[in-house]
Amino acid sequence: MKILADATGLASNREYILVSPEALERKPDQIRKFLETYRSTTDWGIANPQERTRILAPELKIDEPTTARALARSAKPLAPVTPEIGAELQAIADGFTELELVPGKVDMLSLVDDQFSEVLR
């Protein structure tokens, strides 16, 4: 196999959890419980890569060696949005604005809520 190109330096390949303002206001306990469960599951998967591969390969319908390679690339612990990540998000949003993919400027940092940051550390 020969890799012709990848996204090195172009994309951070992060995952974000999006929650509506109404859910933040009305369901903070459920959100916290979800994040705690997600955190422990993610931590377990990182600590147990062979077991994670064995469980997920059949679910994904991908052979185990390919699953192991893909999971190894994505095995990152959860983390809160830092100022650096906020700046990265803002740059993406600004790019979407320049390309007219969104109707106007978006202030990404105003949309970041840090009330659950301690769960993600």
pLDDT in tens, the chain (121 residues): 787 777 676 667 778 889 999 999 999 999 999 999 999 999 999 999 999 999 999 999 999 999 999 898 887 888 888 888 889 889 989 999 999 999 999 999 888 888 898 998 7
Q: Rounded to two decimals, what is the model's pTM?
A: 0.77
DSSP the chain: -------TTT----------HHHHHH-HHHHHHHHHHHHHHHHHHHH-HHHHHHHHHHHHT--HHHHHHHHHHH-----PPPHHHHHHHHHHHHHHHHTTSSSS---GGGG---TTHHHH-
- State pLDDT tens for residues 21-49: 999 999 999 999 999 999 999 999 999 99
What integer pLDDT is reported at residue 84 of this predicted model? Answer: 87
Each domain of the chain, given as residue ranges in start order, spans 27-78, 81-121
